[in-house]
Amino acid sequence: MMKTFELTCSVCDKIFPGDGLRLRCPDCGEGLDTPIITEGKIRASDKPGQRVLERYADFFPYLDLSDDPGLGEGMTPLIRDDVLAAEVGVAAVYLKNETVNPTWSFKDRGTATGIVQAKNLGYKKVGTASTGNMAVSVAAFAGRAGMKALVLVSDKIAEEKLNPIAVHGPTLVKIKGDYSKMYDTALEIGGKLGIAFINSDATMRVAGYKTMAYEICEQCDFDVPDYVIVPNSAGGQFRGIFKGFLDFYRCGLIEKLPVMVAAQASGCSPVAAAFEKGENRVSRFENPSTIAGAITNPLPPSGNGVLRILREYGGLAVTESDESMLASQKRLAERGLFVQPESALTLAVLKKLVAKGQIKAGSKVVCVLSGGGLKFTAALGMQQLKAHSCRLEEAVEFISEVF
C-alpha cells in the first residue's frame, strides 16, 4: 500500500507527493488529481454484481482495495433511449442511470474510494459537510466500513432531509451561523481531531467518479460517445468523469475523447458565466435562485479545474431554466426514469444545444442522471400532475371514457 504518491494540481500542474485526502494545492489552492494512468487491464467478470473497484483495480494502483467497503456501488446501466433521441434529433441518447447506486446517487462511487483511502491511511473517522446526497452516502459507507462518521449540516436543513441521513447513524451536527464558512471549519476540525473529510472535490472522491467513464466506454463497446453531459455543482463529478475517459485514452483503450458538457441551472451558473466571458477563473455567482438545490454552488471549489478542461479539450458549459429542467424531469419519468431535477437538466441542455445547432443530428450523447427523484419530492409539487376520481360502481364506464 502506498501512503503517499504523486499528486498533480488540476490547475497549475505542480506535482508533489501527498495522499489523496489532502484537499488542495499548497501553491494555488486548487483541487488535486491522482497519478496519471498509462496502462491497465479491465478485470472483467461475468458474474452478476461484480464490485466496480475489483473490475477496475488496475486503474487504482495507489489504493489497497482490501479496504473496499463493497456496498454494490457503480456498475450502473447505460440505457439507450431511441424515442428521446428521435424527439431531440440526434443519432443516440444514452442515459447513465446513477440513481441505482446503493444510496441512489453517483456520490457513492467517490465515497467508496474516499473510504478506501481513509482506511488505508489508518483513519477511524470520516466526515463531510453536506446537506444532500453526499451526507447520506458518507454516513452509509462509513457504517458499512465500520468507521465513525461526522456529518455537518446547516441548521436550516428541512426535517425531511435530516432523517434519511440520521438513520445511518452518523454523528450529525446542525451548525448555526454562516454555513459558507463550513468548508474551512471542516478542514480545521479534520486536522485537529483526526477525521478524514471526504468533501465534494476531495482528490480521492473525484478519483472514484472515473469509474463512471470506464463503464460508459465498455458499455459503448469502446466506441466513445460524441458528447457527455454532466450536471455541474462543485465540479468534482465533471473532473472525475473526464479524467476517467483520459485514463482509458492514455491506456489505448479508446481512440478519442468525448466533448464534455457542464450543465448548470440558469439561476446558479458560475462556470457557464466564466466560460461565456472567456475567463479562466470563476467568480462568485451572486443571488443564486433555482430549484436545483443539489447543484447550487455559487463559488464551486473545482470551478477553475472544470474551466481548464473545457478550454483545453474543447468542452461546453451550458445553462437551462428551472422550467426546462422540470419539463425534462417529467419527460424522463414518462420514459421510465424518475430523477432529480438536477439530473434532468442534462436532457434540457441537450435539447438546447441541438436547437442551437451546437450538437449535430448524427451525434451520440450520454446524459448523466446523477440522483433519484425520491431524494427531493418537493419538486413534484411543481409538476402539473393530475389524478382522476370516480366511484367504484362507475369505474368501468368512467375508465372507458378517460383511458
Site for a copy of itself in 144-173 (CB under 8 A): 144, 146, 148, 150, 152-153, 155, 160, 162-164, 166-169, 171-173
Instruction: Select from 31, 114, 102, 26 the least CA-distant residue to 67.
Output: 114
In the complex, minimum distance from the CB of residue 176 to a copy of itself, in angstroms, rounded to a whole number: 5
75 binds a copy of itself (CB under 8 A): yes
Which residue's CB is nearer to a copy of itself, number 180 or number 280? 180
Q: Are 189 and 199 in contact (CB under 8 A)?
A: no
Helix axes 107-120, 133-145, angle to 10 degrees: 40
Number of residues this chain uses to bind a copy of itself (CB under 8 A): 97
* Interface map 35-74 toward a copy of itself (x if CB under 8 A): ---------xxxxxxx----x-------------xxxx--
402 binds a copy of itself (CB under 8 A): yes
Q: Are 330 and 340 in contact (CB under 8 A)?
A: no
Which residue's CB is nearer to a copy of itself, number 150 or number 268? 150
Residues numbered 205-264 forming contacts with a copy of itself, rule: CB under 8 A: 215, 218-219
* Interface map 363-392 toward a copy of itself (x if CB under 8 A): ---------xxxx-x--xx-x-xxxxxxxx
* Residue 255: other Cβ atoms inside 10 A: 10
174 binds a copy of itself (CB under 8 A): yes
DSSP class of 258: P
Q: How far is Cα 267 from Cα 14, in angstroms, rounded to an integer?
A: 34
Which residue's CB is nearer to a copy of itself, number 22 or number 331? 331
Residues 6+ apart with CB under 8 A from 83: 335
DSSP class of 34: P
Q: How far is Cα 82 from Cα 91, in angstroms, rounded to an integer?
A: 8
* Interface map 106-145 toward a copy of itself (x if CB under 8 A): -------------------x----------x---xx-xx-
